[in-house]
Structure 1
Amino acid sequence: MSRALVGVVVALLAAGLPLGAAFADDIPQTDWPPTTRHSLYRSLPPRTYAPRILYAPARAVYKLPKGLDGLAAYDKTLTQACMAGTFQQMSDGYYWAVTPGRRYGVAFSGGANLEDPQNKRQPGKVYFFLDQDARCSVYVGDQAKLMPNYIPPV
């Protein structure tokens, strides 16, 4: 770079002018995106991006060696709502509880994995689902009572 050009650049920077302003006449003014000038751009499809999805893996949240006995009780009203499709898991088996004989789907009263448009949930409760279809059964347990059996995420 010549000394004269360095002097011009230093003078422009000292005056607070951006360097692009000095060379703005040299930049060709074109329409963007180039629709008529380049056939390559006309042949490419418009760019699309997939929606951003936050991923959390499905997992076991409770290990119940004695089953639901003493920890959760059958709820007839919520069972009927489940059969009608108004009280369900958002994703069947996304969270589950492991028992010796069965695997129950789990949803939490805070809304995790729970679809409850009629707002039948109660605070501090955990809902266990068995067969989320026309044979659905819902069991309700107290979250504080279940905490010793909770499996924390890895």
Structure 2
Amino acid sequence: MPASQTRAAPDAGEIRALIARHEGLEGPLLPILHALQAEYGHVPGEAHGPICDALNISRAELHGVISFYHDFRERPAGRHVVKICRSEACQAVGGAVLAARVLDLLGLSWGGTTPDGRVTVEPVYCLGLCAIGPAAMIDGAVRGRVRAEALVAEVAR
């Protein structure tokens, strides 16, 4: 579900039902976290207790997994999600300058969301567009040879 279409906070019954659909899988934690994020746009705090209970894991173990994988969010993202490549290939062709300018234009730091909820900017460590960097992903669509002003104009709409 795109960030612009995330649902409101879940109730306990919805969370338990979602967990139940995945807990029989081998290694169910990641599928559960992905399903929650797909449904709500983030992994809601209300889901932590039921996940831990269903999988017999501690909250520390759950936090370790959520914080290890950069794609999981603990808060809803903005309507537009911009991921800027931080790999060496993109850095060599202006990726650091691109990132700094985008963050400056939006008044954000990495992982931040504009006060109006319009844009979230996140780092990503390769989009596979090494030959046409610097690269970014805007709402799931990859772009090469990205320029900061054009990127910001696109998500400002």
Fold agreement, TM-score > 0.5? no
- Give me the TM-score of the superposition, normalised by structure 1: 0.17
Greater fraction helix: 2
| Greater C-alpha Rg | 1
